[in-house]
Structure 1
Amino acid sequence: MLKRIDLRGSTDIPAGLLPRARFDVAAALAEIQPLLDAIAHHGADPIRRVTAERDGVELDSLRVPAEALRDALDSLDPALRGSLEEAVSRVRAVHSAQRRENLVTEVAPGGVVTERFVPVRRVGLYVPGGLAPLASSVVMNVVPAQLAGVPQIAVASPPQRATGLPDVTILAVCAMLDVTEVYAVGGPAAIGMFAYGADECAPVDMITGPGNIYVTAAKRAVRGLVGIDAEAGTTEIAVLADDTADAAHVAADLISQAEHDPEAASVLVTPSAALADAVDAEVKAMVDEARHAQRIRIALSGPQSGIVLVDDLEQGLSVVDAYAAEHLEIQTEGARELAMRVTNAGAIFVGPYSPVSLGDYCAGSNHILPTGGCARHSSGLSVTSFLRPIQVIEYDREALAAVSDDVVRLAEAENLPSHGKAVTARFGR
């Protein structure tokens, strides 16, 4: 089921050889750009139209009524509510440590630069609701935004055909976290609504949250008009494992992410051919018993999934760094030491008892992470994602005088003499 790529004996790692999803954001962008343009010019009407066509739901109001949020929380299974509250508690504990204090630096006597960390004023948080309505993504989006001090938080998630509202557990978690501004809008239409505004939804300053390729393309399209977290598309997992790993654990973890979507990526990197054989056998047996067997088979047999054979763990480390996985598991001897040497990954899960699914829910870490190799330059969602550093510069007369000749000299070197004059004018020169 999982194809094999043999890199043993290779001195380099050709990027084109590594498993990767067919993730043509440019093509998706061309497909959804007319919708975004229509929302920019006409507001809610194109949103209602596309929601009727694609979701089978006729929307009178885009916003979810307050009573629907209260009813969802009241009807939530008590045991499930307890698990969600545990997840919220752990995510809050980890993310609370990410809050930033002002940084004050005295550059010279009388010359001070203060860096303030100011929250974004208004954010739009997207929560997927297609094949797997991700109530946990409400937690991962909302908690860091609240801890950052964002004053206005709006959530959007696709309406379900049966109710005309987002998934009931998603609504319940919004209510649990005191988020009252929720919209029954999904996909690129939600991104357009957040970016341009529509009906009751005022434009936001930043959009975060995972989604499919069309959501990712829409976020790319509006980036600049608004801020975005990262291009967090269809999920992926890479597992670096040696012959100390349990094949059943590795197989279960690969399957767990393949369960998300037929386009999900599951990759094993190992120097052990014996482990590769054992994992392959375990995967075949486990998939037959899985609830979403068809979806999993498509994902595991696609070009985005596979087993990569390497000479040793050093080469394996180079491979996973080149791959830059959203989720990276390390199940090897000396796993922590290897984990601390990884440079490109959204999140790293160390050892046999830290599966990715723990991070999806209750590790305390955030599961909104960069995909498609974007972990080379982007990071997962955090409190700092919602904070903007603003520098405040305060120099007195003596401090400015001490550096005035340097400013004038640098300004002349760049042929900007008025820059220098702005300093010398303060001293009658």
Structure 2
Amino acid sequence: MSIVELKMPKMGESISEATILNWLKKVGDPVEEDETILEVATDKVDSEVPAPCNGVLSEIRFEPNEVVEIGTVIAVIDADGEATAKTPSEKIEVAKIEAPKPKAQTAAVKSETEREFRSLNTGDNDGFLSPLVISIAKKENLSIEEVQSIQGTGEGGRIRKSDIILYLKNRKYPLPSRPQATAPKSSYNPPPIQFTEGKDRIVEMDRMRKMIADHMVYSKHTSPHVTSYIEIDVTNIVNWRNTVKNEFLEKYGEKLTYTPIFVEAVAKAIKEYPMINVSVDGDKIVVHDDINVGMATALPSGNLIVPVVRNADEKNLLGLAKNVNHLANNARNNALKPDEIGGSTFTISNVGTFGSLMGTPIINQPEVAILALGIIKKRPEVITTEKGDEIAIRSMMYLSLSFDHRVVDGFLGGSFLRKVGDELEAFDSNRKI
């Protein structure tokens, strides 16, 4: 009997685990090679996992909502069992034959290690722990007492991923074991939300919105945010794009938006100020050699995702335009692949797309800075010419840079922001495509 193990696939450079959303097949069902048999999710994207071969699904090792590390065996396929899946009774026999003893032992061990944590999930908001929190607690060898001592910021005091990560970051030593411990209560009681029956309505957050919320709270807890602003004149860029965009589309088959121009300017500025392209690991600074620029992008659902232009400094404007258009199209069609959304080292957010004059974006962890690009507006400005000062109609926009003040001070943040502005203002209006 030929047995094929199905492992949790790699989902991207920075992804170490994924959550099982749904099994599309059950034990005993026949499967075909490349047929989708389950759906999984990371904190960035949902993905489908195909069968590696033809056969019968003889074993499922993890249930929906369980968090599984990349590379872990999640199911077993009997590659010779295609014919055995003809009747329900035969399916059951296949499952029994293929369920090895180590699996039962593993389940027993797993049950024992999780029993204490799972026993808290009795329906009380103060005690409930999500599968992700339990997974992190087990991985970090946290005791029940330590987990219970963490101040939860979720509804009813529930402990979120951001809470446990913040605790681990500041943890000096394990708490001594004690018979009973309860999470400290906040002295602040938020006012009750007024709900009018028949008028107001309650909308449950979807899974992605919950993860975005956790990520935003975690970022604010982690990084002391500072935001700097400048205003720049992008008349040369606007005029040049209006002149060449039709020719660009006809020649290369690609739309020419402002985004690749912005990405190009950011990449050049990072080359001059590499300490903006870093991450913080405890008391160490990780300086990234690759310049991978993330683009905060709205999905059709209204949620947010950050596809990544990798090695942006190595691409010309045409290459950037192709890459940006490809990522934007995949985002709109919910077709982004795991390797297209992980590993960014710096992020831009074009808030001007929604008509915003400027913004104060939240840093995309584990990065240390994010640039917001405001709307481009025409207005009269005083400019200096050979004839002296004149009033002219110019296309102006605001840039705002939020940065992590732990490692980026005002000089570095301001200098980098000014460099991006200078690159955009100095754009060659006679540039050839």
The structure that has the greater radius of gyration is 2
TM norm structure 1:
0.25
The structure that is strand-richer by fraction is 2
